[in-house]
Amino acid sequence: MALLLVLFLADILTLSQGSSQPDHVHRHIHLLRPQSGAGGDLVPGLSCLSWRLGVETNNIIGWKTIPQECGGYVGHYMLGNQYRKDSKAVADEAFLYARSLKLPRDDKDVWIFDVDETTLSNLPYYAEHGFGVEPFNATLFNKWVMEGKAPALPESFKLYKKLLSLGIKAVFVTGRAEDQRRTTAANLKKVGFHTWEKLILKESSYSGKTSVVYKSNERKKLEKNGYRIVGNIGDQWSDLLGTNTGNRTFKLPDPMYYIS
């Protein structure tokens, strides 16, 4: 698993830092073939694959950790080709939609990007913590965030560049705390997200509020200031539900954790 993680990270680091390589240049990520039991039953008739489908379709909600039996399955998925293929399918569809728009080019069209597991990948952290099997440890995760070493998600990075070429501006709306602004901004720029209209982090006034409430309010503020949210992409349903969600939303895969 450690070797495969190195191979995966080498690939996404190449792409996230990849101003020196054209978009069509890709390094091969070795497909992780599920080992015996990697998709094992949780209860009779419910496999880890079925559990992941329930998570991605927002039918399984409110969970704190992935089932213990699915740790190997989720790890294989996140480090294998299928995660990249699924992410690419979402990003490709998002670009096809964006390309079809007739935009006035008045600098008011924006696309909402989440940060964690949407633009920046925390796989190096989660690989050390069971891909979501272990309970979330805010202290350890925030320590990781403050290192500013998260690589870019390659497919989201490509979408970001294509949207900029269409005249659509990026707005990052993240659940990271306001005191992580400097590190988050530096990390984004380091891996190639070099420009944005706004970077919105969660202020202390939202303490105790759900992500749906926080992100809905911030999107509402954007629209009150004259911006048009033409698209919205995130890895959590809470990125995409609520109010002022934009003309179209796009859900990236993430079976590692759930945020309400």
At 82, the pLDDT band (50, 70, 90 cuts) reads very high
At 162, the pLDDT band (50, 70, 90 cuts) reads very high
In this structure, is residue 88 part of a structural domain?
A: yes
Taking only the tens place, the pLDDT of each residue in 98-142 is 999 999 989 999 999 999 999 999 999 999 999 999 999 999 999
For residue 3, is pLDDT > 50?
Answer: no
Longest dimension (CA), the chain: 56
In this structure, is residue 260 part of a structural domain?
A: no
In this structure, is residue 122 part of a structural domain?
A: yes
In this structure, is residue 85 part of a structural domain?
A: yes
> How many domains would you assign to the chain?
1
* CB 56, CB 89: distance < 8 Å: no
In this structure, is residue 77 part of a structural domain?
A: yes
Cα dihedral sign, 161-163-165-167: negative
pTM of the model: 0.86
Cα dihedral sign, 137-14-118-107: positive
Q: The domain that contains 183 carries what CATH number? A: 3.40.50.1000
**What SS3 state is found at 198?**
strand
Which residue, among 103, 108, 192, 183, has the nearest Cα to 156 in the 3D structure? 192
What range defines the domain where residue 244 resides?
A: 2-251
At 49, the pLDDT band (50, 70, 90 cuts) reads very high
In this structure, is residue 124 part of a structural domain?
A: yes
In this structure, is residue 256 part of a structural domain?
A: no
In this structure, is residue 165 part of a structural domain?
A: yes
Query: What local confidence, expressed as pLDDT, does residue 43 receive?
Result: 53
* Structure tokens, 150: 């998260």
